[in-house]
Chain A
Amino acid sequence: MADDILRIRTPIGIDYTWSSGPGSVGYMRGLENGKLLGRRCPVCELVYFPPRNGVCPRCGVLLADEVEVGPRGTITTFCVVNVPFLGQTIKIPYVAATILLDGADIGMQHLIQECEAADVRMGMRVEPVWRDKSLWTPSLENIMYYKPSDEPDADFDVYARHL
């Protein structure tokens, strides 16, 4: 039969109770209070923000002390998003960047706004723009985006090993 169906839609929905784990409690409580709290590996002493499941992947040990990082940081790398996609909430073109927060040893991803996409560069110094305090939740979404902090660019050596 030529007109037999060829495809079916089989949606799958599963409900979970998600636990971020004890290793991330401090990180989320910090965000709730406008603080960026990372954690230090007791072996290699690198500071992780976010604390990645509370584990140092290099050493395979649970992270230890909480360390306040940022709020300012350095753009290590970035991309300019020109492609529209379903569910997009930001006007294109916009910039998504990896930011090495001051005091942290891994980059984190966030948006760069309040400047032309063409002006964003590696080494650019940025600072967070927070949502209104009444809207804060235990989430990195409390920071709407990062914007240039108008400091001189960081030296390449500062972020070279984070590329």
Chain B
Amino acid sequence: MRDVAIVAYIEGQNTAATSQTPVEMIVPVIHEILKRANVERSDIDFWCHGSCDYMTGQPFSFVSAVDALGAWPPIMESHVEMDGAWALYEAWVKIQTGEAETALVFGNGKSSAGDMNRALTLQLDPYVVAPLWPGFRALEAMGARAAIEAGTVTERQMAEVVSRSLRDASDNPNVLAYGYRDPDELLDEPMTANPLRAHDCPAMADGVSAMIMTTADRALEMCDRPAWIRGIDHRIDFQNLGLRDLGRSNSAALAAFHAGVTKDKVDVAELHATHSHHEVILAQSMGIDRSTTRMMPSGGALVANPLMAAGLARFGQAARQIFKGNADRAVAHAAQGACLQQNIVAVLEGN
């Protein structure tokens, strides 16, 4: 295996609703990430993008996104109809196979373009589930109840996750929700999609995240303390919710095992928990001890959830903890699909 590191990461400003087009949102972020790593466009030999046309409301929007890259002379690029974290995985494979040395990975989403709760229904089985139009919130709420009734998650734990996330978000200028809320106070709020309360659900955002990954030959030129990807894996559970124990995530457990999460202590974890109960389920499934690991210092996806960029943001935020020397070993995770169906996990190390 080749040693591959994340050497730069930035986010565009997360907003509740931008008037910019996706391409206009992406352009300045691409400029900024190149500047951050002190490289030229010509230094990037693979570009990989994650986004979703159903969310943008524009067929082939991923093709117009190439306009943001300055694709002349022609570049080697690819796109995944997934969160940018899966674009990261594709880029990692591309580097492993020797087809690329340095990759620029980005994800973008414009959640404000439509009713995402409804649009996300289109990820479900199109024969006997999607025609009912359950929406996504309802499914996550059913997952939360399954976890609560199985005893793997408590409502208090969920409130504590929200309280901590809002507090951490107060130190992050790129969030849509923050503040100091006591768990007891949160538990007094009404349920909006029983058993979920509004604060158990993510603050939807329009946003972009981008990173540069490279091999050992160049990593130290671009970054003082690169975040080395020591293990990475992704796994998928059944699409059929009826076949899964919604109180845990088997695919997150498998991905974490193969990425080597439990081989050593985890200083920091950035998990793509878009709903408060996800954090508890994921940590249990992945073997992360929430009492000794610093969970989501960025505030996580609860406080800013730019769809298709928020998963890659977890990898970027985990890498930042390594860049800054706050952590020697960090776990990054992204999820897609209903009730944590698909999970990608990486172990990042500073040494």
Expressed in whole angstroms, the minimum distance between the Cβ of B71 and any Cβ of chain A is: 7
A18→B57 contact, CB < 8 A: yes
User: How many Cβ-Cβ contacts under 8 Å join chain A to chain B?
Assistant: 83
Find chain B residues with CB under 8 A from A61 CB. 27, 31, 70
A115–B69 Cα distance when bound, in Å, is 42
B175 interface hit (Cβ, 8 Å): no
Alpha-carbon separation in the docked complex, A19 to B112 (Å) = 10
Chain A residue contacts of B67, Cβ below 8 A: 52-53, 55-57, 60
- Chain A residues whose C-beta falls within 8 Å of the C-beta of B114 in the assembled complex: 14-17
Most B CB contacts (10 A, CB to CB) among A14, A59, A62 go to: A14
- Considering the chains assembled together, what is the distance between the CA atoms of A60 and B26 in angstroms? 10
**B-chain residues with CB within 8 Å of residue A6 when the two chains form the complex:** none
CA distance in complex: A10, B114 (Å):
20
Contact size range, B:
20 to 34
Q: Is the CB of B21 within 8 A of A19?
A: yes
Task: State A6–B112 Cα separation when bound (angstroms).
Answer: 37
Digitize A2-15: 1 where CB-to-B-CB distance is under 8 Å, 0 elsewhere: 00000010101011
- Nearest Cβ on chain A to B332's Cβ, whole angstroms: 28
Chain B nearest CB, measured from A5 CB (Å): 11
A14-B54, A60-B69 in contact; A54/B23 too (CB < 8 A)? yes
Please state if B24 and A53 are interface contacts (CB–CB under 8 Å): yes
In the assembled complex, the Cα of A17 lies from the Cα of B24 at a distance in Å of 17
Q: Within 8 Å of chain A (Cβ to Cβ): is B126? A: yes
- In this assembly, does A20 line the interface, its C-beta being within 8 Å of a C-beta of chain B? yes
Chain B residues with CB below 8 A from A22, complex form: 19-20, 24
Q: How far apart are the CA atoms of A105 and B112 in the complex, in Å?
A: 33
CB-defined contacts of A24 to chain B, threshold 8 Å: 21
Q: Is the CB of B71 within 8 A of A60?
A: yes
Contact call A21/B24, Cβ cutoff below 8 A: yes
The 10 closest A-B pairs by CB, nearest first: A60-B70, A16-B57, A21-B21, A57-B67, A16-B114, A53-B23, A58-B72, A53-B21, A55-B67, A19-B19
Residues of B that sit less than 8 Å from A by CB:
18-21, 23-24, 27-28, 30-31, 41, 54, 57, 64, 66-72, 112-115, 118-119, 122, 126-127, 130-131
